[in-house]
Amino acid sequence: MSRNEYDDTTPLLRDDDVCGGSLETEEDYRSRWRSIRVMYFTMFLSSVGFTIVITSVWPYLQKVDHSADASFLGWVVAAYSLGQMVASPIFGWWSNSRPSKEPLVCSIFLNLSANIYYAYAYLPMTHNKFHVLVSRAFVGFGAGNVAVARSYVAGATSLKERTNAMANMSAAQALGFILGPALQAGLSFIGERGVTVDFIRLQLNMYTSPALLAALFGLINILLVLFLLKEHHVDDHGRQVQAINYSSDDTADIEEPEESIDLVAVLTSNILFFVVMFIFAIFETITTPLSMDMFAWTRKQAVLYNGIILCGIGFQSILVFFVVKVTARRFGDRPVFLAGLAFIFWGYFILLPWGNHYPKIQWADVRNNSLISRMSTTTAASNSSVEQTGCPYEQTWCQYTPAIYLAQYIASGIIIGVGYPACNVMSYTLYSKILGPKPQGVYMGWLTASGSGARTLGPIFVSNVYTHLGPRWAFGFISGLVLGGFILLSSVYRRLIAFSVRHGRIVE
């Protein structure tokens, strides 16, 4: 079978621009793309592990520990990213020194175990919210393997293949973001009580079942890595490069370029990636409490409706990824990045509150009708069955800040869902091209750590600013941050070019 015939029968998530001068055999070519697809699947499961519980973390916290507030939610969401930030450089260095299977299997097993821990966070008698926090931190630590996946794909693709491969990775990641909330929304029909499996002391409900499903996905991922993943390395032209001999102390079998990397471009790429992940982490974190405050949704409604909304945005993102592949080929990576930031700015700007419609205040109707005395005479069991809805009275801004309309909320999600995928793909693509053909595990680890740092600070920032100052301050600051990222990218535009182009090996 010829290479062209093979291209025609290859699944959609593969690259079509194969370097014709490649010296690899047909079997090597098949094995290389099979291994790359395993990395796609690893990225997919990494995002599933995060999003499959993201819309239910807040009500789960409220259920297992009544002392948890919206500020603590920010720490719980941030714990995932903090774990990933710490782990990414470690796993990246590991993948440079040893076969990729080792850090991948270790990290996935850790992720699997942490999801089981999350499902049992209700079991201790006290401090349950801290068990949720720790479990999410370890789930994030296991997710540090995305640095390994990105490094592997960067080293196993030519310069021409890189944009498509990175877009495919982001598409796989977006598919995980879609199916995560969708699976959570589907499992919400189990209900808050669910069923109890006595012999293992497990409460299988709408909060614990998604985490257990993520653990099952992790087991499948481990099997795929063990049986399908092979080590492959190609240069910027797509020619096979001799693999590193990991059994030897000399790991210099891959020839590293003598020219230096543009550190200004590297630093700028990390900053821009921080901005992109910061603003998206804020959107992920704020959806459930914002919708419960603005639209008076119950916990179950917030999980279900936000799951549907995020699912729809995720499907849109996949379409954007494929449009980005075509657009970047025609106009270049940097213009697409700038356009993505412009979309994100507009998405957050229209989310600013306006008008004369104000949110419902929790129990305002009870106070107005002098029903407090009657509520105090009811039993504790009856009180616990009544769920308060609306904006908490303790958030003083609720009394003078206009409510965000549902149309605003959905429109903002749609616009951000166009800009974020474009910026996401271009961040990885430009960064891997700037680094050149040398092993990228450590550098990709730092990029992932940069994004994880953003996903650590973003939820903490938005949960505290939103709780104490309201959506105007929160979304106004974010709009300014995106504008700053746009200006930074414009100022270093000419330096964000591929390593081989910078040193004249390939003409752009």
Report the CATH number at residue 37: 1.20.1250.20
417 within some domain: yes
Instruction: Report the C-alpha gap between 452 and 280 in whole angstroms.
Output: 11
Please tell me the predicted confidence (pLDDT) of residue 364.
52
2 within some domain: no
Q: How would you classify residue 497: left for phi > 0, otherwise alpha for psi between -120 and 50, otherwise beta?
A: beta
Tell me the β-bridge partners of 204.
Answer: 195
For residue 41, the one-letter residue type is F
How many domains are contained in the chain? 1
**What is the DSSP-derived secondary structure letter of residue 402?**
P
405 within some domain: yes
Please tell me the predicted confidence (pLDDT) of residue 156.
85
* 432 contacts 269 by C-beta, under 8 angstroms: no
121 within some domain: yes
Interval 290-321: pLDDT, tens: 888 888 888 778 878 887 887 788 788 878 88
Please tell me the predicted confidence (pLDDT) of residue 245.
52
191 within some domain: yes
Q: Which residues of the chain have pLDDT under 70?
A: 1-24, 236-238, 241-259, 363-386, 437, 439-440, 503-508
274 within some domain: yes
Tell me the β-bridge partners of 197.
Answer: 202
* 320 contacts 175 by C-beta, under 8 angstroms: no
> What would the two tokens of residue 476 be?
């106004």
Number of C-beta neighbours around residue 124 at 10 A: 12
In sequence order, which ranges of 68-207 are alpha helices (DSSP H)? 70-97, 101-119, 128-142, 146-155, 159-187
493 within some domain: yes
For CA atoms 479, 483, 488, 490, the dihedral sign is positive
* 95 contacts 148 by C-beta, under 8 angstroms: yes
Please tell me the predicted confidence (pLDDT) of residue 113.
93
Please tell me the predicted confidence (pLDDT) of residue 23.
60
Whole-structure pTM value: 0.68
Question: What range defines the domain where residue 100 resides?
Answer: 21-243+259-360+393-502
380 within some domain: no
